[in-house]
Amino acid sequence: MNPVALGFAGWASRLRWDAVPAPVRDRLTLRLADGVGLVAAAWDTPPGRVVRDLAARMSAGGDPATPLLFGGPPVTPAWAALAHGTLVHALDYDDTFPASVVHPTSVLLPAALAAADAAGTADDVLAAVAAGDELLARLGAAAGRDLHARGFQATGVFGPLAAALVVSTLHRRNPATVAAALGLAGSMSGGLLEFLSDGTWSKRLHPGWAAHGGVVADALAAGGFPGPATVVEGRHGLFASFLGADLADPADPGGVTAGLGETWRSAEAEIKLYPCAHVLHPFIAMARRLRATHRLPPAGITEVVCTVAPWHVPIVCEPAAEKRAPVTEYQARTSLPVAVALALLDDADVGVASFEPASTDRPELRRLAGRVRYVADSRLSEGFAGRLTVRTADRELTAEPAGGTDPHPEPRVRDKFTAAARGDGPATAALWDAARHLDRHGVAHLRRTAADLARSWHPATP
C-alpha cells in the first residue's frame, strides 16, 4: 500500500475542481471568503502589525514577489504565507473541523496565495486547496482530539503537510516530489498550547508557521532535498511521535486515504460566528437564546451551570480562577465564564470588541462570570455538545444546543465579512464578490480588489 503522502500526492495531481461535489465547492469558497475577511479584520491589530513588519524585514534584499492582500511592500512567498496565516487566525475567528479542532483556512488560503502565480487557472488553485482541505480533514479525523490532550494544537501539527500539498500541487511537481515535500513538512510540525497559561500570542503563529513551512518544504523538495514519504504512518512519523499509543491503529494508512474523491470529510468544516474558541459557541448561543426568550435580568442571575465534555475542561474551564478573571484578551477568548457572561449581559451580539479588556474588565461582567461553573459529563464527546442552566431566585432555565451545522450560513458570514472590512460600501462588495466567487475571478482580481478596499481605509494612500 502506498504511503499516505504518496497517495495524496497522486490524487491531488489528478483532482479537478469540477470533480469536487458542488456542495463541497460552495462551502469551500464561502470559507475562503471568510478567511479573506479575517485578514482584513486583523490587519491593524497589534499581532497583525508585528507579523507584517517581520515579513517585510525578512524579505528585504531578496526576491519579493508576493503582495500581501491589503498592501505594503511585496514579500517572498514563504513570508507572505506566514503573515497571511497568522492574520487569518489572529482573532480566533476562523473555521474548524469539529472532530479534531483543526483550523483549515488559516493554512490553506495563505499557501494558495503564496503559490497562486504558478497555477494555470483559478480552478487549479481551488482544486489544490480542496486537496489540502481533505488531507487536513482526514488526518484530523484519524487523530481526533488526542493532540490537544497532549498539549499540541492540531493545526500546527498537520498544517505544514497540507500547505506543502497545496503549494507542490500548484507548482505541478511530480508525485514523488510532492510526497518528499510532505515528508519534509512533517519535521516542521509543532505548536504548543502553552499560550493557555498566560494568554500570549504563540497560538496565533501556528497556522502561519505551518503555511510558511509548507512553502519552504516544497522549495527544498523541488531542489532535490528528499523527505520521508512515510511521514504520516511511519514508526517515527506524525501519528507515532505525537500520539504514540493514544491513537488506535496508527500505522494503517488505509483509513486516511480510503475513498478519496468519494467521501469528503472536509465538508464537515464549521465556520465561526464568534471570535473565540469554537467549543464556546454553543454556550454563547444557548445563553443568548435564554436571555432573549425569558428576558433575564443579568443582576438577578444567581448561578449558571455549563455541562461540558471532559475535553473542554483544560481548554476553557480550568484553571477556574484564571478563566473567571482573564488577564489578556486571548485568555478571554478561551474562557467559558467570560463567554457566557458576555452573552447574558450585553444587548449586542458577541463580537471582536467583546473580548478586549475594556469589555472583559467591567465589574458587572466579572461578577456574572464568577457565578458560572461547569460540570463535566463523560457522555458528551461528539462535536461541541453541551448544556446550559441559568438559575435565578425563582426560576431554573435550561437550554441545549440547537444542533447541527447551519445549512445556510452565508448571510451571517457576509455580515461578519462586512464588519471585518470596516463597513459596507462598493469596495467591500467588490471584495466579497471576488473572494466568494474566486473560481470565477481568480487570485489576481482578488488582490486588486483587496488593495482597492485598503485604499478606502486610508483615502490619502496612493
Separation of CA 36 from chain center: 12
Contact 55, 75 (CB under 8 A): yes
Model pTM score: 0.94
- Of 23-37, 244-258, 370-384, highest mean pLDDT: 23-37
The CA-atom distances, in angstroms, between 307 and each of 127, 317, 336, 374 are 40, 11, 11, 6
pLDDT at 255 over 90: no
The single residue listed with the C-alpha cell 468544516 is 269
Question: What's the confidence (pLDDT) of residue 461?
Answer: 47
Contact 249, 308 (CB under 8 A): no
Task: Show the domain range for 320.
Answer: 278-399
Angle between helices 22-42 and 443-457 (to 10 degrees): 30
Band (pLDDT 50/70/90 cuts) for residue 462 is very low
Summarised one tens digit per residue, pLDDT across range 94-136 is: 999 998 999 999 999 999 999 999 988 999 999 999 999 999 9
Same domain, 305 and 264: no
Contact 345, 367 (CB under 8 A): no
Same domain, 181 and 234: yes
Question: What's the confidence (pLDDT) of residue 403?
Answer: 57
What average pLDDT does this structure show over 312-332?
93
pLDDT at 155 over 60: yes
Decide if 297 is inside a domain. yes
Domain count for the chain: 3
Same domain, 201 and 346: no
Do strands 301-308 and 387-392 pair parallel, antiparallel, or not at all (unpaired)?
antiparallel
Same domain, 183 and 227: yes
pLDDT at 251 over 50: no
Decide if 205 is inside a domain. yes
Q: How many angstroms separate the CA atoms of 222 and 127, rounded? A: 21
pLDDT at 253 over 90: no
Decide if 65 is inside a domain. yes
Same domain, 233 and 147: yes
Backbone angles phi, psi at 434, to 5 degrees: -65, -40
The CATH number linked to 370 is 3.30.1330.120
pLDDT at 391 over 60: yes
pLDDT at 232 over 70: yes
Same domain, 55 and 95: yes
Decide if 404 is inside a domain. no
Decide if 273 is inside a domain. no
Question: What's the confidence (pLDDT) of residue 379?
Answer: 87
Band (pLDDT 50/70/90 cuts) for residue 149 is confident
Band (pLDDT 50/70/90 cuts) for residue 381 is confident
Question: What's the confidence (pLDDT) of residue 407?
Answer: 65
Q: Which of 217, 236, 268 is the last residue of a domain?
A: 268
Q: Which of 226, 245, 268 is the last residue of a domain?
A: 268
Q: Name, in order, each residue with C-beta under 8 angstroms of 246's C-beta and a sequence gap of 6 or more.
A: 146, 149, 150
Same domain, 212 and 306: no
b/e map of 235-271 (b: 16 or more CB within 10 Å)? eebbbbebbeeebeebeebeebbeebeeebbbbbbbb
What average pLDDT does this structure show over 61-81?
92
The CATH number linked to 120 is 1.10.4100.10
Backbone angles phi, psi at 392, to 5 degrees: -120, -175
Summarised one tens digit per residue, pLDDT across range 412-448 is: 999 999 999 999 999 999 999 999 999 999 999 999 9
Sequence-distant contacts of 369-372: CB under 8 A, at least 24 apart: 369/324, 369/325, 369/335, 369/337, 369/338, 369/340, 369/341, 370/324, 370/337, 371/301, 371/302, 371/303, 371/304, 372/304, 372/306, 372/324, 372/336, 372/337, 372/340, 372/341
Nearest 5°: CA angle at 79, between 78 and 83? 125
Same domain, 329 and 309: yes
Band (pLDDT 50/70/90 cuts) for residue 460 is low
pLDDT at 56 over 60: yes
- 367, three cell numbers: 461578577
Question: pLDDT above 70 covers what percent of the chain?
Answer: 95
Backbone angles phi, psi at 277, to 5 degrees: -50, 135
Mean pLDDT for the chain? 93
Same domain, 20 and 119: yes
Question: What's the confidence (pLDDT) of residue 62?
Answer: 82
